[in-house]
Structure 1
Amino acid sequence: MAGLTCAVLTLSVASPPAAASTGADLPRFGDVQRALTELAESDLMVGAIGALYVDGRLVGKGSAGTRLLNGGGTIPADARYRIGSQTKQMVAAVVVQLVGEDRISLEDKLSDVLPDTADQDLVEPADQITIRQLLDHTSGIPDYFGALGENSLFDFTTHYPPAELVKRSRSPDRQQEPGETFSYSNTNYILLGMIIERPTGKPPADELDRRVFRPLHMNRTYLPTKPPEGIRGPHGHGYAPDSQGELRDVDRINASTLWAAGGVVSTARDISVFERAFIQGGLVPPELQDVLRGLVLGGGGGGGERPCAGKGLEITTVTGSAPGFRATTFTTSDGRVQFAVSTTLTKQDNAALSALSRAAAESVLCPGK
């Protein structure tokens, strides 16, 4: 597979989180810098940065490893990084806002809101798939990533229009009918990005900025859309092996292949602000808050990152990844505590990375428990 942007949202059920508090009863959190130093010791890592926020206040931050594979100094702890499929929560928030404005409905058919998907035979069966099924990954539409070809990972210049990505999803065989079961597919969120443009007349990058980034003062967050647009400012670089096994810098990953499915660039501070708002409300009308959380959180799971399970904490884990990077945000169920981590990689070993990420989170959020 040429690339992968996978969101994993898991809920570890336990007692109400006593750790998410301030004042005299503030718990003893672990050392963020130490956790990141231990994380970056893995030979899978180039560098790692992260920060811990409690009720919006910075409690700890750190940086470990190096900016480049062979040096380049450390990564600034407040550097921007790709958040991968954490983007999907943001796109879902915009879609649900449009539902609240009666500009679209969760039960609208894909063929009605995007007629080209049926007229040009881009999606089968477009007349049966609803917006709700796109949001919760029950549409059955195959993922386009595997159909981009082996060379796409190192192609930093070819522009892929969203419709082209959707068209590529016709190559893999459909495995299920709409509404049958959860089946993760980035194509769903490419289509949702296209749907955002229909009633607003604006691309997702503009609507995310207007509806999410600016209202929440996420001033360093943006959605790059054109290759080879990359990450602004000093930041960590990730690597991936080419066909000869030689590690190559993939920092300039093709923005047009990620787009609304996983292209947002953010910071530990900004993504923590978003996750707090996502869980506590403020992104959508109150009557749609449960709809938003249910649509996004209801279909995740399987990531193996369940820190502090059985230790008195309920943690939501959101992960986005692609060759060269992995970014995870851990949030308590009441939205008061966030531990946001970005890692740049030499190898995409998801099982090992998941275990390392979970260990780092536990050492910070529930040390000694």
Structure 2
Amino acid sequence: MLALGVAAPTAAIPNAGAASRPVKLGSVQRAMEALAKNDGVVGAIGEVYVDGKRVGRGSAGSRLLDGKGGGIPSNARYRIGSQTKLMTATVVLQLVEEGKLELDDKLSDVLPETARQDLVDRADEITIRQLIQHTSGIPDFIASGKFDVFDFTTKYSLTDLVKASRSVPRPVEVGQYFYSTTNYILLSMIIEKVTGHDRAAEFARRLFVPLGMDHTYLATKVGDGIKGPHGHGYIPDSEGKPRDVDRLNATSWGAEGAISTARDISAFHRAFNQGKLLPANLRNVISQRPAAASQQQQQPPALCGGKPELRPVAGSVPGAFTVTFSSPDGRLQFAVSTTLKIPNHDAMTAVSPDINKAAEAVFCPGT
């Protein structure tokens, strides 16, 4: 536990699980200052929301590398990475609720080209449910090595990404858990096939506009940058020199392209947890895992001892690592974004623990 949480000013807020038991809110600014001291972090921003109202915010580090460019506004836009997958799953499950899809529909029936063109091995066995739950056994297209993070010119289709995954050996059998972004590329293709609209339009119609997420959009173009003031992320090149990846080829990061703000992403998680987007039975589909996978994945200790209960959803793309903590009833959110100067795949071990410490410093100061 960080010392910064001990002496921080506090404000009493209702507990997400029991209104009669108050929670003391520590300084978000001090939490961000501690987080920005991490060697892999360039800048860190965070905002806390209770019942949709911002009750704390903080910004530390810098907009550019080596302390340059000034600070990052706490309400700046940022890439949310794989938090986009939860949005994709939500839209697909809305289509299930509307009767346009079935969870046990076979991939080869919904997207016949996956079998006809041999895009996906065993497409006639894999279901929509398995795509959502990462139990299809389909390899991750990123492992093909065919995509250069510094390529800001080549335009890829969703089909191109799926084709790339075909060159990677199947890691597990159908029905076993294996996290693969290719699952969500296929779900994105299903959204477009069933609705007749591109994903950006469908996300806006079903999520962003109804929830008032006015500063959120889905990047889909080769050179899509982040609109407005924001922090820049970096990754080392082959010689170890940090290179700016503020621009990112959205066509090769197609399942992780949403750009949002702390306010907007908090609004999404609040609505999701409060059942405003999906009924409970369909929300539970996303979190269900095979028993064997649950046994293999050791659960970390609950933040703040589970009081208040906080569930993190993380996302990572080159140059950025983000986490949104939300209470199961949707009353509390803590949205954190970090820009990086290390490879994004290292952030889970190098930065995630300090983000967890920031959450504890805010929600259970002095413990």
Distance in 1 (CA, whole Å) between partners of 2:60 and 2:299 is 24
The amino acid across from 1:360 in the alignment is A
Alignment of 1:1-369 (within 5 A): 19-20=15-16, 26-70=22-66, 71-149=68-146, 152-179=148-175, 181-259=176-254, 261-284=255-278, 286=279, 289-292=280-283, 294-299=284-289, 308-348=303-343, 349=346, 350-369=348-367
The amino acid across from 1:163 in the alignment is T
What per-residue deviation string (whole Å, max 9, x for no partner) do you get for residues 295-342 of structure 1? 222349859775525253322110001221100001112211000000
Contact 2:47 2:54 in 1 (8 A): yes
What per-residue deviation string (whole Å, max 9, x for no partner) do you get for residues 170-203 of structure 1? 1111022221x21100000000000001121001
Helix, strand or coil at the partner of 1:363: helix
Helix, strand or coil at the partner of 1:95: helix
Query: What's the CA shift for 1:147?
Result: 1.3
Query: TM-score, length-normalised on structure 1?
Result: 0.89
Helix, strand or coil at the partner of 2:65: coil
Contact 1:21 1:336 in 2 (8 A): no
The amino acid across from 1:92 in the alignment is A
Helix, strand or coil at the partner of 1:256: coil
Query: What's the CA shift for 1:367?
Result: 1.2
Distance in 2 (CA, whole Å) between partners of 1:88 and 1:305 is 22
What per-residue deviation string (whole Å, max 9, x for no partner) do you get for residues 20-55 of structure 1? 279885421110000001100112110001100001
Q: CA RMSD in A?
A: 2.0
Query: What's the CA shift for 1:354?
Result: 1.4
Distance in 2 (CA, whole Å) between partners of 1:271 and 1:85 is 12
Query: TM-score, length-normalised on structure 2?
Result: 0.90
The amino acid across from 2:167 in the alignment is S
Q: How many residues align?
A: 346
What per-residue deviation string (whole Å, max 9, x for no partner) do you get for residues 264-322 of structure 1? 000000000000111111112x3xx3222x22223498597755252533221100012
Contact 2:127 2:136 in 1 (8 A): yes
Distance in 1 (CA, whole Å) between partners of 2:51 and 2:173 is 43
Evaluate the alpha carbon distance shift between residue 117 and residue 262 of structure 1 in structure 2; reply closer, same or farther with a 3 A threshold: same
Q: Percent identity?
A: 54
Contact 1:239 1:250 in 2 (8 A): yes
Evaluate the alpha carbon distance shift between residue 303 and residue 166 of structure 1 in structure 2; reply closer, same or farther with a 3 A threshold: farther
Distance in 1 (CA, whole Å) between partners of 2:57 and 2:302 is 19
Runs of 4+ in 1 over 3 A off after TM superposition: 21-26, 299-307
Residue number in structure 2 paired with 1:6: none
Residue number in structure 1 paired with 2:3: none
> Which consecutive residues of structure 2, in runs of 5 or more, have no partner in the other structure?
1-12
The amino acid across from 1:355 in the alignment is P
Contact 2:36 2:60 in 1 (8 A): yes
Contact 1:277 1:335 in 2 (8 A): yes
Helix, strand or coil at the partner of 1:277: helix
Residue number in structure 2 paired with 1:9: none
Distance in 2 (CA, whole Å) between partners of 1:22 and 1:249 is 45
> Which consecutive residues of structure 1, in runs of 5 or more, have no partner in the other structure?
1-16
What per-residue deviation string (whole Å, max 9, x for no partner) do you get for residues 248-271 of structure 1? 001111111122x21100000000
Distance in 2 (CA, whole Å) between partners of 1:81 and 1:305 is 27
Distance in 2 (CA, whole Å) between partners of 1:268 and 1:283 is 19
Contact 1:82 1:264 in 2 (8 A): yes
Helix, strand or coil at the partner of 1:341: strand
Distance in 1 (CA, whole Å) between partners of 2:268 and 2:40 is 28
Distance in 2 (CA, whole Å) between partners of 1:296 and 1:101 is 17
Which fold has the larger relative contact order, with Cα–Cα distance below 8 Å and residues 6 or more apart in sequence? 1
Evaluate the alpha carbon distance shift between residue 130 and residue 88 of structure 1 in structure 2; reply closer, same or farther with a 3 A threshold: same
Distance in 1 (CA, whole Å) between partners of 2:302 and 2:352 is 10
